[in-house]
Amino acid sequence: MLRQIVLDTETTGLDPALGHRIVEVACVEIVHRRITEQTFHQYVNPERPSDPGALAVHGLTQEFLSEKPRFGDVVGDFLDFVSGSELIIHNAPFDVAFLNAELARLDRPPIESVVASVLDSLQFAKQLHPGKRNSLDALCERYTVDNSARTLHGALLDARLLGEVYLAMTRGQESLVIDIEENDRKQIRVRRDAGTGELVVQAASEEELEAHEEYLSRLDDVTKGACLWLRRSDAS
């Protein structure tokens, strides 16, 4: 089974083309759909100050980072850790652009040439929950992942949270329920037959079955043919 790495970065600003740099990079390993204890985490000296807005997000001061290694000092260990894996990144174009800018400074090939693939969990979430908020905090709330320790953005904590969210989004049971916003939530009752006391099972409508098959097809595309529920459905 393909080794997966959940990755997150913190940066000095929003645009590597303007000279902004990575200040923190963290990776969390997923093997056989379990988050392991194997991680890569490194604060990085960006050799420049963070923009005020970025500093307010991650709180990593220039004084703190000035004593940390430069990206070039840790790039070998980083690439060894992610090599051959599938990267899972929330808003992947942002992090990939920063990683590739750092690699280009070192005359290294882009990250896409080192890993097997890159999955953007933000785009995946938008497919599952169109029109809904799909930030990491919103997804933690939707999938009941405890993010109470997330007062500032930290790459390692955010990678761990995203790993849990990703597993919840792709587990099946949690993802197949109807997504209802809190203010639209309706009470759902289990009905029993008045005479026998047995549970009454209501079959899914044709519309619900079609929506279910459409969801499984999207999930199969994102997981590159690994949707077990679709295989079972075909077998039956």
pTM above 0.85, yes or no: no
Q: How many whole angstroms separate alpha carbon 93 and alpha carbon 66?
A: 27
Pair of tokens at residue 200: 């009454």
Question: What single-letter amino acid sits at 172?
Answer: G
Give which of 101, 106, 108 is closest to 20, Cα–Cα: 101
Q: How many whole angstroms separate alpha carbon 123 and alpha carbon 12?
A: 24
Q: How many whole angstroms separate alpha carbon 210 and alpha carbon 91?
A: 29
Residues for the chain: how many in total?
236
Q: Where does the pLDDT of residue 173 fall: very low under 50, low under 70, confident under 90, or very high at 90 and above?
A: very low
Mean pLDDT of 45-52: 97
What are the domain boundaries of the chain?
Answer: 4-171, 189-235
Q: Is the dihedral of CA 20, 24, 27, 28 positive or negative?
A: negative
Q: What residues are labeled active site?
A: 153
CATH assignment, 4-171: 3.30.420.10
Q: Where does the pLDDT of residue 175 fall: very low under 50, low under 70, confident under 90, or very high at 90 and above?
A: very low
CB-based contact 87:119 (threshold 8 Å): yes
Q: How many CB atoms lie within 10 A of CB 84?
A: 10
pLDDT reading at 92 higher than 70: yes
pLDDT reading at 183 higher than 60: no
pLDDT reading at 194 higher than 50: no
